[in-house]
Every structure is written in structure tokens, then in C-alpha cells.
Amino acid sequence: MTPRPRMSLLMRGLRLGFQTTRLLSPDLALRMAERLFCLPRRHRTPEAELAAGRNGQPFAFRSQGFLLQGRIWGEGPPVALLHGWEGRGTQFHAFLEPLLAAGYSAVAFDEPAHGASQGRFAGPLEWSQAIGAFAREVGPLHGVVAHSLGAPALAIALDQGLLELPRAVFLAPPAEPDIFYSGLLSMLGLPERDHAQAFEAFGARIGIPWDRIRLRSLAPRRSTALLVIHDRQDRDVPWESGATVASVWPGARLLLTEGLGHRRILRDPQVIEQTVAFLGQAPTSAALPFHGEGPRSLEWHLFHRELRTA
């Protein structure tokens, strides 16, 4: 049997289960939809990413009880690399050499329920809290490069005061999650007239109003310098979404590309060049800012001096 019929059968089963549950308890049915929406798949890691991971120094930290896995490459002002839905930190492998050549260290981690990190479900709160815990672990960040869902997760973390950030680059950012959740709700058979109520129920359940999950709603309150890069042929997140974010984020710049789609944008040399240029050249005298007990601590640094030539 081919994958398509299996998925079709699965969706029919989920739809039937949702509809049956909705007859008995509308609230329980919405909880079921929310769980499905926050259930990522883990994909096979390509060899290029595995090689990049082996070249980085591993570290781990906890967020909301889950052990999350990270990597650090190089030395200098840290630039964080935040992956998107069903992604991994090592998806930014093409950024590593240019960032290190510019004098930065690159730091990435796998969000909850992604990559090598623990967890099964990952919603907006889990993502934003993990970013806050990550920032506390590695110390003050020079900048962040965030792909897809990593961008609104970062905006939520900023809105909650979990970190401070001078500059960021968003690659293919979704302006709001509405279209994605609506798609799932429609497949489950929930009438469109009830979608707005489902949005609000989701936000109430996690303790964040739905409007505070929308990147386009959070953007006007932000002061971080921002570059948005989006491809016109992106089939996962339409380029108009990135244009919307850039138009409402004070002072943001928008760069549109052609023919890269949603994922090749992470490997395009011109995109990487523009990203590093926007971050600026790291000061040649910049020393590793020792911080806390994690990968920025003095003790950690002394025991991992191979990072000087990573």
C-alpha cells in the first residue's frame, strides 16, 4: 500500500473520531485538535547535517522538564540559529562557516519534540519557553537567524521578556498560524464559522491570547533590527506573509528571492551572505563572554579549547 492511501485512511479515521467526540463534548474535541496541531514528525537527518553536528560541541539544557540538545561552533559573539516546524538546529549547516569566518560563534538547539530533544508535543508556549531557557544558557546573543515557525516563537519569547535581542533575520516567517490551524480544523470537519472560537480556545488553554501568537500582531511593539528574507515560490509559507511581517515591524527590511522555496533558502549562498552582512562584522577583539554554568561558562570554555579552531 502506498503512503497516500495510508494517510488518507488515517485522516478519515481522525475526522470520524473528531466528529464523534464533538457530539459528546465539543471542548474535548477541540483539545484533540490542539494536540494534533502540536504533534510534529521527526524526520531522518541528512548526512550533511550529521557531519555539521559532529563538528560542533554538544551541550544540553532543560526547559519545562524536557532535556533539549544543542550545539555550539566557534568562538565569539553568539548568533543563535532557530529552526522551524519539524526541523533541527543542524539545518543551518551552510551558515556555519560564513558565521565563523565573520568572527561569530554559531549556537543552535533542537526545540522540544524535535531532532534529538525530548518531548512529543510542541506548541507556541513550549517553543517560546525553550528559546528563553536557551538564551539564559548561552548568554547575551549578538543576533538570531530564525526559519519559518522559529520566527513567531522568537517574537513570543521577546514579547514575554524572556530575552533581549539587538538584531534578527527571519527566513520565510509565517505572519500568523491561522491558516495552518484552519487547515487542520477543516480536515477534521469543523465548520469554518467555528474556527475563530477554536483559535480563542487554543490561546486560553495555553495562557496566551491568540492575538499574542500572531507574529503580525507582535511585530509593531518590537524594536529589534530585522531583515526578512522570503522566496516568491515558497509553497509552505507564502511570500506575502514575510512581506506583511516586514511592513509592520518598525524599520524592518524585506528581501525577496526567486526559486528557493521554503527550505533551499537555508542553503543559498546569497541568502547567507546577506544574513551575515546584516548581522555585521564581529569585532576582532571580541572575547568569549563567559556566562553562567552552560556552554558560555569559564569552566566549560577551559575544557573545550578545540572550539578555537572549530
Examine residue 20 and state whether it is found in any structural domain, yes or no. no
Domain containing 156 — which CATH number?
3.40.50.1820
Examine residue 197 and state whether it is found in any structural domain, yes or no. no
224: containing domain: 38-177+213-309
Per-residue pLDDT tens over the stretch 223-243: 999 999 999 999 999 999 999
Examine residue 84 and state whether it is found in any structural domain, yes or no. yes
Per-residue pLDDT tens over the stretch 149-177: 999 999 999 999 999 999 999 999 999 99
User: Three-class SS of residue 228?
Assistant: strand
pLDDT at 163: 94
287 pLDDT more than 50: no
Decide: 198 and 28 in contact? Cβ < 8 Å: no
pLDDT at 7: 47
Per-residue pLDDT tens over the stretch 11-51: 889 999 999 999 999 999 999 999 999 999 999 999 999 99
pLDDT at 281: 62
- Chain mean pLDDT for the chain: 89
pLDDT at 293: 57
pLDDT band at 296 (very low <50, low <70, confident <90, very high): low
pLDDT at 9: 84
Examine residue 29 and state whether it is found in any structural domain, yes or no. no
- Domain tally for the chain? 1
pLDDT at 75: 87
For 120-126, the CB contacts below 8 A with 24+ separation are: 120/39, 121/35, 121/38, 121/39, 122/38, 122/40, 123/34, 123/37, 123/38, 123/206, 124/152, 124/153, 124/156, 124/177, 124/206, 124/208, 124/213, 125/206, 125/207, 125/208, 126/38, 126/63, 126/64
pLDDT at 226: 97
Per-residue pLDDT tens over the stretch 180-207: 999 999 999 999 999 999 999 999 999 9
pLDDT at 139: 85
Examine residue 182 and state whether it is found in any structural domain, yes or no. no
Examine residue 173 and state whether it is found in any structural domain, yes or no. yes
Examine residue 195 and state whether it is found in any structural domain, yes or no. no
86 pLDDT more than 80: yes
